[in-house]
Amino acid sequence: MSAHHEEMTKTTPMQVVVATVGGLVAPLIAIFLIIQLVLGIQASHMNQDTDAQSKVVAERIKPVGEVKVVDANAVKVEKNGEEVFNAVCTACHTSGALGAPKYGNKGDWASRIGQGYNTLVKHAVEGIRTMPARGGASDLSDAELARAVAYMGNSAGAKFTAP
Ligand code: HEC
């Protein structure tokens, strides 16, 4: 009897292991499931307007300046005075639009030529009154503008030497 009883109550090492592991793992599984539940609830809340939110965020974090990609291999070919005139200046300086001194018109240009080549070039670069800076073509170089000024001035009696 006593031997049998002993056998019934004796805890085997295997039982100890099972009990210990079970006791540790069960709570871990419970915690894991709770975390999953919480995360799931959060995710479903956030999904509602993530689209609108991400747009707002993108707007906030977008760079202040935007990079304009220019082909570094594209060589800029400098235009001569006539080419610049035909591409840009003619828009006003052929018809005299906005009171622009007309190409080839000595009367229009005489007093302007009197200011000197450098002043005229400066005004072409910076603009003056209704004459827009660089004739509105911001990609023109100073040299191209100077050539166009010489081209127009010389058409009206000046003897400017273009760069
Ligand atoms: C949008 C019209 C317009 C275009 C395009 C334009 N001009 Fe003019 N330009 C004017 C007007 C208007 C004046 C007269 C401004 C004034 O004296 O009030 C003027 C005057 C000038 C003068 C005389 C400035 C002075 O001091 O008397 C020069 C030089 C000149 N333009 C150069 C150019 C060149 C070079 C180009 C082309 C690259 C060009 N302009 C394109 C409108 C234009």
What CATH number has the domain bearing residue 85? 1.10.760.10
- Locate 97 and state its tokens: 């639009």
Same domain membership, residue 87 and residue 53: no
Binned at pLDDT 50, 70 and 90, residue 99 comes out as very high
| pTM confidence score | 0.65
Binned at pLDDT 50, 70 and 90, residue 4 comes out as low
CA of 157 to the centre of ligand 1 (A): 17
User: Whose alpha carbon is nearest atom 28 of ligand 1?
Assistant: 124
Same domain membership, residue 149 and residue 86: yes
Task: Decide if 160 is inside a domain.
Answer: no
Task: Decide if 43 is inside a domain.
Answer: yes
Binned at pLDDT 50, 70 and 90, residue 67 comes out as confident
Same domain membership, residue 50 and residue 10: yes
Domain that holds residue 92: 81-155
Look over the chain and give the mean of its residue pLDDT values, rounded to a whole number: 86
Residue 64: its pLDDT value, please? 73
Same domain membership, residue 8 and residue 51: yes
Identify the residues whose C-beta falls under 6 Å from ligand 1. Answer: 84, 88-89, 91-93, 97-101, 112, 115, 120, 123-124, 128-132, 135-137, 140, 145, 148-149
Higher pLDDT, 48 or 80: 80
Encode pLDDT of 106-143 as tens digits.
Answer: 999 999 999 999 999 999 999 999 999 999 999 999 99
User: Whose alpha carbon is nearest atom 1 of ligand 1?
Assistant: 92
- CB of 79 within 8 A of CB of 87? yes
Same domain membership, residue 90 and residue 53: no
Overall number of domains in the chain: 2
Give the count of beta carbons closer than 10 Å to the beta carbon of residue 11. Answer: 8
CA of 131 to the centre of ligand 1 (A): 4
Same domain membership, residue 85 and residue 151: yes
Sign of CA dihedral 81, 87, 137, 64: negative
